[in-house]
Amino acid sequence: MRIVLGVSAGIAAYKACELLRLFTEAGHSVRVVPTADSLNFVGAATWAALSGQPVTATAWDDVHEVPHVRIGQEADLVVVAPATADLMARAAAGMSGDLLTAVLLTARCPVVFAPAMHTEMWEHPATQANVATLRGRGAIVVEPASGRLTGADTGPGRLPEPASLFAAALRVAARGAGGLAPDLAGRQVLISAGGTREDLDPVRYLGNRSSGRQGYALAAAAASRGARVTLVAANTELPDPAGVRIIPVTSAASLRGQMLAEAGAADAIVMAAAVADFRPASRSEVKLKKTGAPPAPITLVENPDVLRELVLTRQRPGQVIVGFGAETGDLLANGRAKLAAKGCDLLVVNQVGPGLAFGTSDNEAVVLSPDGPEVKVPRGPKEALADVVWDLVVARLP
């Protein structure tokens, strides 16, 4: 694949060196197009050495090759990382005063902007308007990460980590190669992932085997399709997907609180987390120890049914709500009963057991709905199931 890596003048330009390495080691041909000011952070010699291709910031080099037109025309994917507020403003205005903005005008392939700037610049109405303009034209503008910025500042505006940008960019390219538009552009989605834990004492808890991989695959897929994604993550140890806002939680009660708080802004909600059905009636404030006597029974009480509550309190017209059901025994009978009890629009049912679903990189499922046929998804990567789910969600969105 022929990739153009645009680099604008932000301190995060050094991270783009790692992104370039990931692209080239995966076998892709990468042409780096920096802005002139970005060369104050990383020089042309570095880009040329890492990419194995000539590097220039101006359209006046090698004029006979018409680079300001040819580079964009020949690209299969354009990624701008970091994308500063200034660069996005010029791109949104259709300006072409340097080689990078000219490439952006001539490219007819998927374009991904990875913003990086101070929080105040990212949140400024002008920047947000420019981002909306770029998204409206079909570009993918990933949400910046939150964290340490230049100096002591902390907040949203940090460039996502190169590995997550690499994965996101390839997903966008794969969809673009199939002629698929970013069909979740302008939509907000809310996803839960992982497994909740219910404390017995300061050391022990009741939990489950969910790794969160399916929820993270759903989040990454939605972001690559243009959505603004919030992921409520329960006890996961996975790298953050690029462009996804993460809210960490621990227990079923904390997950419930965050899901209900975020639900009002969501066009679609996917409850992929494995939420504990029960919790201990009381939590010991000290570690429970062996005494030689038979242990006291642990009394359990039911946790709230978060999926059912989201359905009953649906906060906006046309909101699509998807549940997940991990089942043993008769998959379809149990799934149909759960769908009727929960009242959601779609229910993804999968068999669990040794080597199935939990803790694996693949999944197999049946997607049920109250008003449509069963959709069987054969065993394959969890990313494939994620795309099937979003296809079905998109078909239901108003």
Name beta bridge partners: 274.
195
Listed residue (351, 197, 362, 167) closest to 273, CA to CA? 197
Token code pair at residue 306? 């978060």
Contact 280, 253 (CB under 8 A): no
Distance (Å, whole) CA 131 – CA 88? 7
Report the candidate in 146, 135, 160, 129 with the shortest Cα–Cα distance to residue 225. 135
Residue positions counted in the chain:
398
Tell the burial category of 278 from Cβ atoms under 10 Å away from its Cβ (0-12, 13-18, 19+).
middle
Question: Quick one: which of 116, 98, 126, 104 has its CA closest to 9?
Answer: 116
Does the annotation mark 208 as catalytic?
A: yes
**Separation of alpha carbons 7 and 113, rounded Å:** 10
Taking CA atoms, 136 is separated from 76, 184, 372, 394, in Å, by 20, 11, 32, 17
Helix then strand then coil, in percent of the chain rounded to 5, is 35, 25, 40
User: Which of 298, 301, 248, 306 shows the shortest CA–CA distance to 274?
Assistant: 306
- For 118, 220, 336, 354, 364, the CA distances from 360, given in Å and listed in that order, are 38, 17, 25, 10, 11
Alpha helices (H) along the chain: 13-25, 44-51, 67-74, 85-92, 99-106, 119-123, 125-136, 162-177, 213-224, 252-262, 306-312, 331-342, 382-396
Q: Which of 130, 208, 303, 350 is catalytic?
A: 208
Question: In angstroms, rounded to a whole number, what is the distance separating the alpha carbons of residues 240 and 136?
Answer: 25
Is 363 within 8 Å of 389 (Cβ atoms)?
A: no
Residue 41 has which token pair?
Answer: 């952070």
Enzyme catalytic residues: 208
